[in-house]
Amino acid sequence: MQILAHRIDLHARRIHPAEITIENGRIQRIKEVDSVPADAGYVLPGFVDAHVHIESSMLPPAEFARMAVVHGTVATVSDPHEIANVLGAEGVQFMLDDARRAPVKFCFGAPSCVPATGFETAGAVLDAVAVEKLLQNPAIGYLSEMMNFPGVLHGDPEVLAKIAAAQRLGKPVDGHAPGLRGDDALRYFAAGITTDHECFSFEEGLEKARLGVKILIREGSAARNFEALWPLLLEFPGQIMFCSDDKHPDDLMNGHINRLVARAVTKGCDLFDTLRAACLNPVEHYRLPVGLLREGDPADFVRVADLAEFRVLETWIGGVCVAANGESRLVHQICETPNQFAALPKKTSDFQLASTRHTGIVRVIRAWDGEIVTGREEGHARLQDGLLLPYPAHDLLKIAVVNRYAPNIPPAIGFVRGFGIQRGALASSVAHDSHNIVAVGTDDAALCAAVNAVIEARGGISATDGAGESRVLPLPIAGLMSPADGYELAQSYARLDTWTKETLGCALRAPFMALSFLALPVIPALKMTDRGLFDVERFDFTGVEIGD
């Protein structure tokens, strides 16, 4: 098979017309020619998402691949941390098995922090012995993001043993150090950690890049850091990669890494440096078995119509065209639905919160659009019959986290601001990192209805208008993913998202993605776990009312 197109040679940093011969899934020959047809387009190495939790797409790997190839994605560096927190090593194996059903080259990591902390209830524990066993599997390419940066800084033996195991086996160690600066950052990365995808300011990214850290510029459905970090590509082209981290299905339907490439070029970034970040750097850093458009390489490449919008015409993996003209050639496949869900339906009274100070002055989690970090504020809850109540007119809502792994544990209750909901509630069993049920609402009855809808589905996302109408999107694979057709799921999710905004009045761009990070006790500043309100900066629990 032969392809005529303008070839983008990232190693020689040149573009030339070429005749590319493919045999047995590999590029046998690249011949420079005088010209190619006017509509031949440009051929370049395929795009790589350098850090993504496939589970956050609500799709299993094979279905994620079916949608991603349309946008030129040929490989991902994937952390199965989410399903591991629910199902342990069996969950990681599910991801490996399902990924083999698709041609996309998934590089899975060994989750380093299961559970992420001891301050929440997870469904599994992966100690240093279990992590080393995973790392010994040839299908596992690296040690996933080391979120326990206090453990690194204080020399926790379990943490150091996991890093040492990866180093012995010659596998990279991914970082996760939001806001870590100065001497602490120096010590953290000196432990052998090589990347960070959590920078949310240019100054933070610059400091870490100067330490030699590989900076992953993240633009997902919740955290969007491209605008802050893209100038790093101008100074550190060899250290930059692009990633999505978390990508909801409706967002994936519209684009992937190809969109970041187009934005970077529009900003004035050098074409070859941009494509190096999107195609070359991840392959070299993680030693991915992905072709880079050279003779003898696997025939993994993308043909695009232009070098401005990077409209993908075709995606090839292993010499097979897997997507063309906006249509995937991969087919939907039915998969298994492993799960762990023990929570029983709750009562409205379970969501009441008694006042201990009788002032109504409470600590408030501040959610921000497009960020997974949260702020800390004070708020004035309404007081009635000794109970602390939400104040929707002032955007002061209740947040509840319900333990999904035990039947009758009382919910943890607090307050949150930033959602703008005027009525009803929303809930989700996608609640990083332990994936208990997290809910935000304007009153106890609505919170109860939204949570019970998730429990009855044995996992999913739900919304209720507080007047009797509830909608739910079931996620029966570990309470995180759906076995449904990805495009149909994306449409169902988009309808629920729209209904949440229009009916409940939610002001956030991605309310369910934002909701899922409110229970993440490794990202500053205040979070809510199933055990209570957690101060990430103090790394300890704190009272809901000021003075507690």
pLDDT tens, N- to C-terminus, the chain (548 residues) = 999 999 999 999 999 999 999 999 999 999 999 999 999 999 999 999 999 999 999 999 999 999 999 999 999 999 999 999 999 999 999 999 999 999 999 999 999 999 988 899 999 999 999 999 999 999 999 999 999 988 999 999 999 999 999 999 999 999 999 999 999 999 999 999 999 999 989 999 999 999 999 999 999 887 889 999 999 999 999 999 999 999 999 999 999 999 999 999 999 999 999 999 999 999 999 999 999 999 999 999 999 999 999 999 999 999 999 999 999 999 999 999 999 999 999 999 999 999 988 899 999 999 998 788 899 999 999 999 999 999 999 999 999 999 999 998 999 999 999 999 999 999 999 999 899 999 999 999 999 999 999 999 999 999 999 999 999 999 999 999 999 999 999 999 999 999 999 999 998 998 998 999 999 888 889 999 999 999 988 889 999 998 77
| CA-closest candidate to residue 342, choices 412, 427, 428, 407 | 407
Q: What sign for the dihedral angle of Cα 419, 512, 247, 93?
A: positive
d(CA 173, CA 427): 33
Q: What sign for the dihedral angle of Cα 69, 71, 77, 80?
A: negative
Sheet strands (E) in 158-276: 173-175, 195-196, 214-218, 240-243
**Residue 525 burial by Cβ neighbours in a 10 Å radius (0-12, 13-18, 19+):** middle
Q: Which domains does the chain have, with CATH numbers?
A: 46-287 (3.20.20.140), 348-541 (no CATH)
**Residue 321 burial by Cβ neighbours in a 10 Å radius (0-12, 13-18, 19+):** middle
| CA-closest candidate to residue 346, choices 398, 402, 405, 412 | 402
| CA-closest candidate to residue 71, choices 233, 226, 241, 261 | 261
Going from the C-alpha of 262 to that of each of 135, 257, 476, the distances in angstroms are 35, 9, 36
- The distance of Cα 518 from the centroid of its chain, to the nearest Å, equals 14
Structure tokens at 547: 């003075």
d(CA 325, CA 315): 9
| Residues 6 or more apart in contact with residue 131 via CB below 8 angstroms | 110, 111, 112, 143, 162, 165
**Residue 203 burial by Cβ neighbours in a 10 Å radius (0-12, 13-18, 19+):** exposed
| CA-closest candidate to residue 48, choices 74, 12, 20 | 74
The answer to whether the beta carbons of residues 278 and 49 sit under 8 Å apart is: no
206-243: pLDDT as tens digits: 999 999 999 999 998 878 899 999 999 999 999 999 99
d(CA 205, CA 217): 9
CA atoms within 13 A on the CB side of 312: 31
Strand partners, 19: 4, 31
User: Cα 122–125–131 angle (5° rounding)?
Assistant: 135
Backbone φ and ψ for 187, nearest 5 degrees, come out as -70, -40
DSSP 411: P
* 286 residue type, one letter: Y
